[in-house]
Amino acid sequence: MTRCVVLGGGPAGDVAALHAAQRGAEVVLIEERELGGTCLNRGCIPTKSLLATADVFRKIDHAAAYGIEVPRPKINVPAMLARKNDIVMTMRRGVEGACERKRVRVVEGHGILDGGDVVVGDERISYDTLIICVGTAPKGLPFADMTHERIMTSDDILDLEVIPKSLTIIGGGVIGCEFASLYATLGTSVTVIEALPRILAGIDARIVSQFQTLMEAQGVTFRTGTGVSAISAKGTHTTTVLEDGAKVEGEYLLVAVGRAPLTRGIGLEESGIELDERGWIVVDPLLATASPNIFAAGDCIGGLQLAHLASAEGARAVDNALGIEVRPMDRTVVPSCIYTHPEIAAVGLSEETAKARGLEVQVTQTRFRGNGKALAEGESDGVASLVLEKGSGIILGATVMGVHAVEVIHEIGVAMSDGLTGEELGEIIHAHPTVSELIMDTAQHSMKLAPYLS
């Protein structure tokens, strides 16, 4: 029986361990913190739990628009955090139970590669194949006192026991925008600072522009195209000095400038594994490292840092390592989801990325305000954008902003995987009324055949 050791128990590692056990390997999973990694304990799950509270708060706060008269709601922060923690614990126990059922031996501790083994405390664990899935941690800023109680990372803010009157967020990426959406809904005055010319780099520029306008209407202030030169915290406030000399005051400050791989100091380079200049593990298309029998998956190899991609990589790394259905990792169809209000989801190529590859494209957009289900839910803000290859009509990608966008995006992913054209997608009968029929409308609109649009 092949001995497979998995280093790291996040979305890549726990899936790798469970998949290896299903493939008949003898598996040891090493994790120094909680099973489930960042996603389950300090990322995807707790943030979405808090955002769900914000969604309920928003609905109640606007209940009059639905014909319901109620007093303005109040947030019970301890109860909100307790709910979040209960959900995290439920999910974590699910991972623990799966490992127990599949006879994956879980070793708690800090694993270090040494002479062909992984050492955890006093235990030396040998392997035939090793899958490294050590993940990442939030980056700080060198000129900020990251130990100060009012200067937080995305880990710290999950346990903030107050709703701040004001919050400064440095970083206008996915993490920064999700927390901006959360706290703006709860009544916080939020300022987002982004060094790049626009927020949410990599998302369709026209949709980002519309999204920013909607966020500004919710009270969020954006300062783009300027970096930060200094941060200080004194008393009950923080001060952020921008490179243009302006100052931004806030009760609390969230540093959301990205994440760094946890690859240093665990014996990787000494074991012949190559790291790039930023510390990401270098792998080939099969997810193999430069060291024999050692593969890597998940956020620690760089690229898109998405839990679902990490899980797919973990399973693919195992199959390749065990010589089962060996094939390169395919990242052609990977949905990206942003859980703001409104939600944003994308898959495949945007208009910008397609043109950068030299492709001629046809882009079609439809708006949520013409969708009966979205109107009924009081969520008419949004747009769906479909990118087709000009001539063939093959679907290259899509971006959807609006209610249920993170659910709707998957049918476009399936259509892309099957090589469908816009015309073929438009011919598929969708239920009415649904938000997802907006995708059918958009596909038909690309053919000038949408009854109410073309």
3-state helix/strand/coil string of the chain: CCEEEEECCCHHHHHHHHHHHHCCCEEEEEECCCCCHHHHHHCHHHHHHHHHHHHHHHHHHCHHHHCCCCCCCCCCHHHHHHHHHHHHHHHHHHHHHHHHHCCCEEEECCEEEECCEEEECCEEEECCEEEECCCEEECCCCCCCCCCCCEECCCHHHHCCCCCCEEEEECCCHHHHHHHHHHHHCCCEEEEEECCCCCCCCCCHHHHHHHHHHHHHCCCEEEECCCEEEEEEECCEEEEEECCCCEEEECEEEECCCEEECCCCCCCHHHCCCECCCCCECCCCCCECCCCCEEECCHHHCCCCCHHHHHHHHHHHHHHHHCCCCCCCCCCCCCEEECCCCCEEEEECCHHHHHHCCCCEEEEEEEHHHCHHHHHCCCCCCEEEEEEECCCCEEEEEEEECCCHHHHHHHHHHHHHCCCEHHHHHCCCCCCCCCCHHHHHHHHHHCCCCCCCC
Closest CA to 53 of 33, 78, 70: 78
Measured in degrees and rounded to the nearest 5, phi and psi for residue 185 equal -65, -35
Active site includes 432?
yes
Annotated catalytic residue, options 410, 430, 432, 445: 432
Whole-Å CA distances, 2 to 21, 35, 129, 293? 10, 23, 8, 12
> Which amino acids are annotated catalytic?
432
